[in-house]
Structure 1
Amino acid sequence: MSTISNKEAALLGLLSVEAKYPYEIEKEIYNQSMRDWTEISMSSVYKVLAKLEEKDLVISEVKMSESNRAQKVYTVTPRGRRLMQGWITARTAKWEKSLWPIDIAMSNLALLPKEEIIENFRSYIQSVDESIKCYNDLLGYLTEHCQYHSLSLATRPLLLLQADRKWAEEVLAHYEQISLSLNRKS
């Protein structure tokens, strides 16, 4: 069985709801803020649609628009639907490891002076707080306008951010304690 990329899955998911013209897909990507939680971008839509069509996961049909222009409308094939269902099952049945660039930074943290580490982690915590606010706002919107499963687009990142904040506070406290000890010895 063929595999699909995250970008392909994002488009298959949109097309699984109903057939769409590319401009409708782009509008939906914008409306759902999908650029914030997927790898899909406006510039990649046509390229990904071509790949999906090549793999026989979607088909396109040329239709005349109201303005009498020929436009392609894309529909998921039965094979595309089965593959998308398998992709969803694989992602929801087993935890997948994520790679975090912060881990590379942490493994090399000794390259920075303590004062800079403290300053960086204060800034890091501030940026986490800003993200928490954004996701709380998103959660409010999703709660009012979307189905339950869509809430996870905010609740999961919120839980991860809260854990990340706690971790960053512990790192900051450690380096502040070291700095305080060094200042006392001076």
Structure 2
Amino acid sequence: MSDNLTDSELLVLGLVSEMPRHGYELEQVIEQRGMREWTQIGFSSIYFVLGKLEKKDFVTAEKPSGAKAKKSYIMTSTGRDALVTQTLTAIKTVRPTYSSILLGMAHWPTLTRQQALSALRQRGEALQTELSRIENILIDQQPLPDHVEALFNFSIGQLKAEADWLHQTLDYMTCKPWNR
């Protein structure tokens, strides 16, 4: 079976590596740590992901003793090896990301000048709102471990880079004759 992990599998395996956890506890940790600010995993998919990790022998389920006890998952040594390998790969590998702005820009010619420029301006406002929101989360959660602060700073850097690109694009588009 392949050791390649999806982003959701890597996230869940990493959390299980910290200590044995059950699905609801994983949801609580994801929520408390603000992990949905930088990764996509829904509550409904946590148990599905745990099942996939168990099939790969990366985690094992600890059977509950009480009637209402929840099944906890423990990382195996195979899981530890996969976690280390995939963590190193995730840090050193550049992967393209696909933003909806790329699709919008590809279909730019279908819009009127007013629609297109208005949409870009609205995106700029949304970027500023999101940037403020993420910066406030970062401030509210201080002090943070260095690696967690780096996660937030990465998101902030991406938002700032897009805001700079958007500003330059709007400057260029408003000075350029419309070709439609």
Structure of higher RCO (CA pairs closer than 8 Å, 6+ residues apart): 2
Which residue of 1 is the match for residue 6 of structure 2?
A: 5
User: 1:75-125: per-residue Cα shift (whole Å, max 9, x none)?
Assistant: 111111110111110011232222223122212212111111111111010
Residue type at the aligned position of 2:96:
K
Q: Deviating runs (4+, > 4 A) in structure 1?
A: none
Matching residue of 2:153: 155
Match of 1:29, SS state, is: helix
Instruction: Give the RMSD, CA atoms, in angstroms.
Output: 1.9
d(CA) in 2 for partners of 1:93 and 1:70?
40
* Contact 2:63–2:71 (CA under 8 A) maintained in structure 1: yes
Between 132-141 and 96-105, the greater mean CA deviation after superposition? 96-105
CA contact (8 A) 1:57 1:77 kept: yes
Inter-partner Cα distance in structure 2 for 1:16 and 1:31: 17
- Aligned partner of 1:73 in structure 2 is 72
Q: What amino acid maps onto 1:27 in structure 2?
A: Q
Equivalent pairs, count: 178
Code of the aligned partner of 1:38: T
One-letter amino acid matched to 1:87? Q
Q: Which sections of structure 2, spanning at least 5 residues, go unmatched?
A: none
- Scaled by the length of structure 1, the TM-score of the pair is 0.88
Question: Which whole-Å CA distance do the structure 2 matches of 1:141 and 1:87 have between them?
Answer: 30
**Does the CA-based 8 Å contact 2:38-2:155 persist in structure 1?**
no
Say whether residues 1:28 and 2:29 are aligned partners: yes
Give 1:4's aligned amino acid.
L
Q: Determine the structure 2 residue equivalent to 1:138.
A: 137
- The match for 1:184 is none
Cα distance, 1:148 vs. partner? Answer: 0.5
Tell me, yes or no, if the aligned pair for 1:60 and 1:75 is still in contact at 8 Å: yes
Where does 1:4-153 land on structure 2 (aligned, <5 Å)?
A: 4-64=5-65, 69-142=68-141, 144-153=142-151
Q: Displacement of 1:166 after TM fit? A: 1.0
Asked if 2 retains the 8 angstrom alpha-carbon contact of 1:16 and 1:76, the reply is yes
More deviation in 124-133 or 19-28? 19-28
% same residue: 24
Stretch moving more, 168-177 or 79-88? 168-177
**SS of equivalent residue, structure 2 residue 70:** strand
